[in-house]
Structure 1
């Protein structure tokens, strides 16, 4: 299979969705920047970080749900398909949606880096660009390689205009419309 780009994708969105439907449950597929991606199975610390964030969101914003692995239609012209580690949206926002929900109404996406060779391109670059192109207001990257949280906000012209980096242990302000303050001291327990 030849490498794809947004202009010359490896396959059509319809072909990807059919492939993703038929993939075994042990494999998570994404279609980012015209390329088929296999998302790695999360390890225990990855899951613990997600649960920490879920509890923080529920405590501060009970009107919102943090959905794990919700399939989203992203990127320019809605040609991408991503499964962020978390998608923050109003309670019951995804009810009645299919496997790939429109990203309208999603307030924040979350990616927690994995320890694999593709995480730099996938989590730090391509997926964030897709979320910005879909005008998702906030993208939170929890980067386990550098023990940081990077808050991307103010999407415009297909990119996030603002990026603020915090170290584990800092107080992290997630901007509107999320409006949550995260106490991140607990993340030091999961530092590599």
Structure 2
């Protein structure tokens, strides 16, 4: 059996809360399962970079998963992997600090960000809080089931968000029913600060995913390009969703946020 991109699926029943443990092997993943716009040195280990897995494994890979499950004397299916990504993510055993998201039909594994990234996020959060926005949060995960879709089309953990309000009873109920993920409708602004390993995801797939989810404002701090861009007025066009308005400044300048949000001083990031 090939060591490429093998998934170990363990299914067990525990009353009304079935435990589905899914372990992603840490062997190298084939390049065709990585995002097309990423370039990685072959020698780097999987937990040092952003890895993207396609949600439609080939028949051979499906056979490998089933065979491996039989080796473990359990029954495995691909239901969570393809149809319920929040359950699949909830069952993953990942290294400490690694975040897993589901964006445009692919699972993205993101290693911990570096010190500069986290300091910049903190400085922006403090600015927003001091400007009177109390519902600025870090670490919450959100998912979306837009329009007539009967399945989750995105599960994401922005670097930080501005919420309309703290999570209410209905939001917590949604979270319980979606494996720990809140509804995207809670989000007023989502922010991403790029890293070399995932900048293309933040500029493309996440941009479209946030627009499709109807998040009113997307703030992109592009460290690699030295700019900050704020997008607003999203239009849901499915996989081709866009924001109608974009405003960009060079790092170090002030940026007026839309939707009644305050002005950011990006000189704090230089």
Per the shorter chain, which TM-score range? 0.7 to 0.9
Q: Secondary structure at the match of 1:136?
A: coil
Q: Does 1:140 align with 2:219?
A: yes
Cα deviation for residue 50 of structure 1 reads 0.5
Structure 1 residues 31 and 13, CA, compared in 2 at 3 Å: closer, same or farther?
farther
Cα deviation for residue 3 of structure 1 reads 4.4
Q: Does 1:109 align with 2:179?
A: no
Cα deviation for residue 166 of structure 1 reads 0.7
Cα deviation for residue 31 of structure 1 reads 0.8
Bigger RCO (CA 8 Å, 6+ sep): 1
| 1:90-109 correspondence to structure 2 within 5 Å | 90-93=164-167, 96=172, 97-98=175-176, 99-109=180-190
Cα deviation for residue 4 of structure 1 reads 9.4
Structure 1 residues 13 and 39, CA, compared in 2 at 3 Å: closer, same or farther?
farther
Q: Answer with 1 or 2: which has the greater Rg.
A: 2
Q: Secondary structure at the match of 1:114?
A: coil
**In the alignment, which residue of structure 1 is the partner of 2:73?**
none
| 1:1-192 correspondence to structure 2 within 5 Å | 3=33, 9-10=55-56, 11-24=81-94, 25-62=96-133, 64-74=134-144, 76=146, 77=149, 78-93=152-167, 96=172, 97-98=175-176, 99-116=180-197, 118-120=198-200, 122-157=201-236, 158-177=241-260, 179-188=261-270
The two structures have a TM-score, normalised by structure 1, of: 0.84
The two structures have a TM-score, normalised by structure 2, of: 0.61
Structure 1 residues 13 and 150, CA, compared in 2 at 3 Å: closer, same or farther?
farther
Structure 1 residues 184 and 171, CA, compared in 2 at 3 Å: closer, same or farther?
same
Q: How many residue pairs align between the two structures?
A: 182
Where in structure 1 do 4 or more consecutive aligned residues deviate above 4 Å?
A: 1-5
Unaligned runs of 5+ in 1: none
How big is the alpha-carbon RMSD for the aligned residues of Structure 1 and Structure 2? 2.4
